[in-house]
Structure 1
Amino acid sequence: MDKNKFIKDNFGISDKTLKLVSEAEESIKEQFKHIENICEINQLRVMKAFADNRVSDSHFVATTGYGYDDLGRDTLDRVYADIMGAEDALVRHNFISGTHTISTALFAVLRPNDILVSITGKPYDTLEEVIGIQGEAGNGSLKDFGVKYVQIDLKHDGTPDLEQIKFTLTHMNVKAITIQRSKGYGWRPTYSAKDIGALIEFVKEISPETICIVDNCYGEFVETEEPTAYGADLIAGSLIKNPGGGLAPTGGYIAGKQKYVELCAYRLTSVGIGKEAGASLGFNRQMYQGLFMAPHVVSQALKAAVLCSAVFEKLGFEVDPKPNEIRHDIIQSIKFGDPDKVTAFCQGIQKGAPVDSFVTPEPWDMPGYSSQVIMAAGAFVQGASIELSADAPIKPPYIAYMQGGLTYESAKLGIMVAADKMLRKE
């Protein structure tokens, strides 16, 4: 069977688009080799953690009620801690999102009159109401509980403002700082685990007791180490992103110093109970298997992001990261400068999805966001951004963010459809 003929006949992709994508693939072969090497190392790390913790079929048995003595749950915590280079971890299906895990970590360690400082600029949109910089008074935000918030904006080149960080830490008794690894809805570099480690070292030299919390969403398994290996006190993320491997149907994780993870467990369940209870309800198997698959699935998403970067750069758009840059998360940004092009791109990605490919996404008022957002997502797990998706706030400079792809081949189709849609609009 002729592959290109099949694509043309069944998906309506033009010869011009097929040629463009083929040329793009040829230009990124070396980057693919780098991604494959990272994947193999990470797979070996996961295999070692499974073997060291003697994972067996008994860990997949469901528990109910209080969930006391849930061997699978407790062992999964240890597996995650080993992989993350952390003292302890809290991995639960009860976490509904990355925002939930980060919110849990913040409320766990902060007390009235404490000071929280974001040292990487404005946090992700859904955390604004958690902190209290958006939303109504009395909704239960950190601000309602008397936690003070300070934001240190990034410099023009997207790097942290070390001078301002030093001034703030020197003149205020800062209880905790937050670092957002990924760019979120911004146009700035994603920080490597090593870069985050250097930033944490800088903070600790000035204020050793300050707790360093990292939003690790979209970054897991993109490198061979996580921020906890470089001194982060807590990291948090979602299982419907990278570490769930496309198989975890829900959930999240927190990893880091044991004393802080314990406080997070108290916040999630109850003080005095913490990690000792919480039935797994049969979710363990999917969370273990998803973690096992995660290095490979993340590598597929990375290859898709690199291809997207190469294709849309060839189409004349500004992209970040560029095709042959080393990556620290799975997100690919494309600056369209035009709301109609953003919408066309997301609609093209939707048509390349395995689920709901017939749906035409439109901008809407999404809860937790300050502007309308368009989201393309045809996922087996609702909202799973390790599966192929694209989203964009409808505001200048009109940047779309693509991430995910359980397989490179399926994500490639979505990218081809989106590119073809662009070429037909010219």
Structure 2
Amino acid sequence: MIDTNLFISKAEKNLLGIFEELEIIRDLNQAKVLKAFQDNRIGEEHFASVSGYGHDDLGREAIDKVYAQVFNCDSAIVRNQFVSGTHAIACALFGVLRSGDKLVSVAGAPYDTLEEVIGTRGNIRASLKGHGVEYEEISLKDGVEIDIDAIRDTINEKTTMVTIQRSRGYSLRKPIDIETMTKIIETVKIKNPECICFVDNCYGEFTEVYEPTDVGADLIAGSLIKNPGGGIVEAGGYIAGRKDLVELAAMRLTAPGIGSKGGAMFNQSRLILQGFFMAPSIVFEAVKGSILASQVFMDLGYKTTPRPDDIRTDIIQAIQLDSPERLIKFCKALQFNSPINSHLTPIPCNVPGYDDEIVMAGGTFIEGSTIELSADGPLREPYVAYLQGGLNYAHVKLALKGILEHLDIHEPA
């Protein structure tokens, strides 16, 4: 059995320079958020809640303005009525696309839950395809890289929208960093200036200095129980970008004629504002922890992606474990080293929206929160544990120690 404390400490020493770079990103993002709060004169009056239809909710309007400024775009809708990131994305897609329009995914197959939204599986009648939207996927180069040439060859005047999934989802493809995203958007706009560039921004907020809307994305969406909620927002999502597109998405969430002007916030405005203010620092802790996990498991001989010195553009760390037993043991160990429900044992099961059985470890204060330390993975080859989140770096270190001990690692694999 290895000395886990010594092993982790050695890994940390190799990462000091990388951690210093992360601090710069955190500080720049924190300054950006602080300025948005100051410019929009956020005060205690914005914490108050209204009931019923939610008309004239000062807090809701202020939250939308803060998000729009931070994401450097025209407009935003931030609502606890979004039940998940998938719901926010679905509202954006269904709000904007119409029968006869064409949607192209430029990064291969999307995240599992979006397959049913698009209509590549599940209830086709309820999907975009069922509503007459044409869909096409551009395969990745060698299964991992964005194929710019294929994007250039595919996009034409009939392409209404491209969807760009920033994070990797349940795959080993590279997440799309802002530099690569800039190339994608520029390529699309050269071929069709009217094509809408939509970005699934889940897991990516505040991992880099710039956001997709800084480099030409027309519309983005994400979840408040991921990065921008700072670990304290109880539910919700956001959509941000061009004003006309955001309003169409808002009308999908509510109704035509209501759009972004209705919806009570159920006394959540303070938490949404506070979580957003905390988010750059919380994301820093999570990314720092994921880099440590990458280094530790790489030192043990496992395939990890991203590698410790790769550019980080999301909070997800993929660790290839190569067997279902090891994946399940990994998740059991993480659950045991969680603050909530540490006495429970994760077991693989079917989860709505996913095609394979999933094993999930999530001893989180907020159910399903992935800015809190959690791990999951589908029971399919090559049996990858997707580790994400961490409200503080110290907890990630403790959990890694517990995982190594539970896996009974004696020497590098």
For Structure 1 versus Structure 2, the TM-score category normalised by the shorter chain is: over 0.9
**Partner residue in 1 for 2:202:** 217
In the TM superposition, what is the alpha-carbon distance from 1:197 to its structure 2 partner? 1.8
Report the secondary structure of 2:3's partner residue: helix
Corresponding position: 1:306 with 2:291 = yes
Identity of aligned residues (%): 48
**Partner residue in 2 for 1:168:** 154
Q: Deviations over 1:308-364 (max 9, x none)?
A: 011111111011111122211111011111111111111111111111111111111
1:110 to 97, 105, 128: 97
Q: Structure 1: how far apart are the matches of 2:31 and 2:222?
A: 21
Report the secondary structure of 1:420's partner residue: helix
Q: Structure 2: how far apart are the matches of 1:416 and 1:106?
A: 42
Corresponding position: 1:342 with 2:323 = no
In the TM superposition, what is the alpha-carbon distance from 1:37 to its structure 2 partner? 1.3
Corresponding position: 1:158 with 2:151 = no
1:316-395 paired onto structure 2 within 5 Å: 316-395=301-380
**Partner residue in 1 for 2:246:** 261
In the TM superposition, what is the alpha-carbon distance from 1:141 to its structure 2 partner? 0.8
**Partner residue in 2 for 1:67:** 54
**Partner residue in 2 for 1:47:** 34
Q: Which residue identity is paired with 1:162?
A: I
Q: Which residue identity is paired with 1:180?
A: Q
**Partner residue in 1 for 2:80:** 93
**Partner residue in 2 for 1:296:** 281
In the TM superposition, what is the alpha-carbon distance from 1:250 to its structure 2 partner? 0.4
Q: Which residue identity is paired with 1:201?
A: E
Alignment check: 8 A CA contact 1:17 1:423 kept = no
**Partner residue in 1 for 2:17:** 30
2:397 to 388, 391, 412: 412
In the TM superposition, what is the alpha-carbon distance from 1:137 to its structure 2 partner? 3.5
Q: Deviations over 1:91-133 (max 9, x none)?
A: 0000111101111100011001111111110000001111111
2:135 to 128, 146, 149: 149
**Partner residue in 1 for 2:223:** 238
Alignment check: 8 A CA contact 1:166 1:203 kept = yes
2:270 to 285, 292, 312: 285
Corresponding position: 1:193 with 2:178 = yes
Q: Structure 1: how far apart are the matches of 2:2 and 2:388?
A: 26
Q: Which runs of 5+ in 1 are unaligned?
A: 1-13
Alignment check: 8 A CA contact 2:177 2:311 kept = no
**Partner residue in 2 for 1:5:** none
Q: Structure 1: how far apart are the matches of 2:147 and 2:280?
A: 33
In the TM superposition, what is the alpha-carbon distance from 1:163 to its structure 2 partner? 2.7
How big is the alpha-carbon RMSD for the aligned residues of Structure 1 and Structure 2?
Answer: 1.3
In the TM superposition, what is the alpha-carbon distance from 1:29 to its structure 2 partner? 1.0
Q: Which residue identity is paired with 1:384?
A: S
Change beyond 3 A, Cα 1:90–1:399: same
In the TM superposition, what is the alpha-carbon distance from 1:398 to its structure 2 partner? 1.0
Report the secondary structure of 1:280's partner residue: coil
Q: Structure 1: how far apart are the matches of 2:388 and 2:28?
A: 22
Q: Which runs of 5+ in 2 are unaligned?
A: none
Q: Structure 2: how far apart are the matches of 1:93 and 1:78?
A: 16
Report the secondary structure of 2:264's partner residue: coil
- TM-score w.r.t. the length of structure 1 is 0.94
Q: Which residue identity is paired with 1:165?
A: I
Report the secondary structure of 2:32's partner residue: helix
In the TM superposition, what is the alpha-carbon distance from 1:424 to its structure 2 partner? 4.7
Q: Which residue identity is paired with 2:95?
A: A
**Partner residue in 2 for 1:134:** 121
In the TM superposition, what is the alpha-carbon distance from 1:80 to its structure 2 partner? 0.3
Q: Structure 1: how far apart are the matches of 2:148 and 2:26?
A: 33
Change beyond 3 A, Cα 1:371–1:157: closer
Q: Which moved more, 1:240-249 or 1:34-43?
A: 34-43
Alignment check: 8 A CA contact 1:378 1:389 kept = yes
Q: Which residue identity is paired with 2:148?
A: L
Corresponding position: 1:315 with 2:300 = yes
Q: Structure 1: how far apart are the matches of 2:288 and 2:124?
A: 44
Alignment check: 8 A CA contact 2:47 2:59 kept = yes
Q: Which residue identity is paired with 1:306?
A: I
Q: Deviations over 1:19-61 (max 9, x none)?
A: 1111111111111111111111111111000000000000000
In the TM superposition, what is the alpha-carbon distance from 1:423 to its structure 2 partner? 2.9
Alignment check: 8 A CA contact 1:240 1:383 kept = yes
Aligned length: 411
